[in-house]
Structure 1
Amino acid sequence: MESALSLKPIINVAAICGSLRKASFNHGLIRSAIDLSKQSVDGMAIEYIDISPLPMLNTDLEIDGKYPPAVEVFRQKILQSDCFLFASPEYNYSVTAPLKNAIDWASRPPNVWADKAAAIVSAGGGFGGGRSQYILRQSGVYLDLHFINKPEFFLNAFESPPKFDDEGNLIDAAAKERLRAVLLALKAFTLRLQSK
């Protein structure tokens, strides 16, 4: 029985948050996704990838075909992942500067995003961060990233009843179930792409 379980494919997911603030709602979505992957989504391992150490993109930092150490580590984690979960807050109708910076570093030759599945979740006011998702999807076209189309996940973090606690942890049961549906769709799409 143990050998049969060990043969199950594990999908390695790199989870990237566009907010650098630890108690941000979008960090809360990633923490919740990690918990869900351990409790109710078999065959999926999610690793949070911290993008705060990345320097701002500057090709002068590329010396003798090498990237700065923090960038090399980040690029290796992206390369070794099967798919991606982005938590993308919306700043000024767009993605955040740290997230765009991370995307750009990993797209430098060779592009390590290419031909992999991805999903986006977001939390915020009003439209729940939705506009940032459209911008990220647009970048994904050039990056050769394959985003799941459904289900979409936008969460208005300021509606009642509260969706997050004071530490930014997701506490809304319905939102958790929607997040689980995103993870299941990402897993299925990743396996489909890998089987081609």
Structure 2
Amino acid sequence: MASSLATNQSIINVAAICGSLRKGSYNRGLIRSAIELTNQPSLIPDMSINYVDISPLPMLNTDLEKDGKYPPAVDTFRQKILEADCFLFASPEYNYSVTAPLKNAIDWASRPPNVWADKAAAIVSAGGSFGGGRSQYILRQSGVYLDIHFINKPEFFLNAFEDPPKFDEEGNLIDPAAKERLKKVLLALKAFTLRLQSK
């Protein structure tokens, strides 16, 4: 298993992937808030989150694979996934499922060799009344085949449209209770990553 973790207090590198390409996306706001939390070692020590942009990826087409090589954008993306210790998915819900950009990214990184395999992951989502929850179930199903080990609890679904406001006009998370829940997700992801890497 690829890992940057040593026996001492090394940094856990998290690749954060958002299923929305919109700059003001609430789900991107969740990732920004997660990054802010990990930038405070007193809250979450020894964890670094790197946002991985999936917008440059072409739509999956195996005709683009030439002589066993992938297009440059795909190769760069796959390398970032390979080098990560674990993953944080921010998955909005479109039509009871994951978004097309997120599914596309998942499929590109699953091409041989599958660079998702045998690592921990967590999912967060923001949306309507169910907070994007249905997309999480679909993503978990894909994870079974890809050997991604999702944490089971705590779950994080956030109704982005109820009062009081959860996000500001730029899509930044401002709700203290939601930030505390997000912190618990990250701590659980860290603990599960360490468990998997100790095996």
TM-score by length of 2: 0.95
1:3 matched residue in structure 2: none
2:138 matched residue in structure 1: 135
Query: SS at the partner of 1:131?
Result: helix
Q: Provide the rounded CA distance (Å) in 2 between the counterparts of 1:9 and 1:94.
A: 36
Q: Provide the rounded CA distance (Å) in 2 between the counterparts of 1:66 and 1:136.
A: 27
Q: Provide the rounded CA distance (Å) in 2 between the counterparts of 1:72 and 1:9.
A: 26
Q: Provide the rounded CA distance (Å) in 1 between the counterparts of 2:9 and 2:45.
A: 9
Residues 151-170 of structure 1: per-residue CA shift (max 9 Å, x gap): 00000000000000000000
Q: How far 1:8 sits from its partner (Å)?
A: 1.6
1:146 matched residue in structure 2: 149
Of 51, 54, 58 in structure 1, the residue corresponding to residue 57 of structure 2 is 54
For 1:38-53, list aligned pairs within 5 A. Answer: 38-39=39-40, 40-53=43-56
Indicate whether 1:25 and 2:26 are aligned. yes
Higher helix share: 1
Q: Provide the rounded CA distance (Å) in 1 between the counterparts of 2:87 and 2:23.
A: 20
For 1:1-196, list aligned pairs within 5 A. Answer: 7-39=8-40, 40-196=43-199
TM-score by length of 1: 0.96
The number of residue pairs the alignment matches comes to 190
| Uncovered stretches (5+) of structure 2, i.e. residues with no partner | 1-7
Q: Provide the rounded CA distance (Å) in 1 between the counterparts of 2:75 and 2:44.
A: 30
Query: SS at the partner of 1:120?
Result: strand
Q: What residue identity is the alignment partner of 1:154?
A: F
Q: Provide the rounded CA distance (Å) in 2 between the counterparts of 1:8 and 1:140.
A: 28
Identity %: 85
Q: How far 1:119 sits from its partner (Å)?
A: 0.1
Query: SS at the partner of 2:122?
Result: strand
Q: What residue identity is the alignment partner of 1:35?
A: E
Q: Provide the rounded CA distance (Å) in 1 between the counterparts of 2:137 and 2:38.
A: 25
Residues 11-63 of structure 1: per-residue CA shift (max 9 Å, x gap): 00000000000110000000000000111210000000000000000000000
Q: Provide the rounded CA distance (Å) in 1 between the counterparts of 2:95 and 2:14.
A: 28
RMSD of aligned Cα (Å): 0.5
Q: Provide the rounded CA distance (Å) in 2 between the counterparts of 1:10 and 1:20.
A: 28
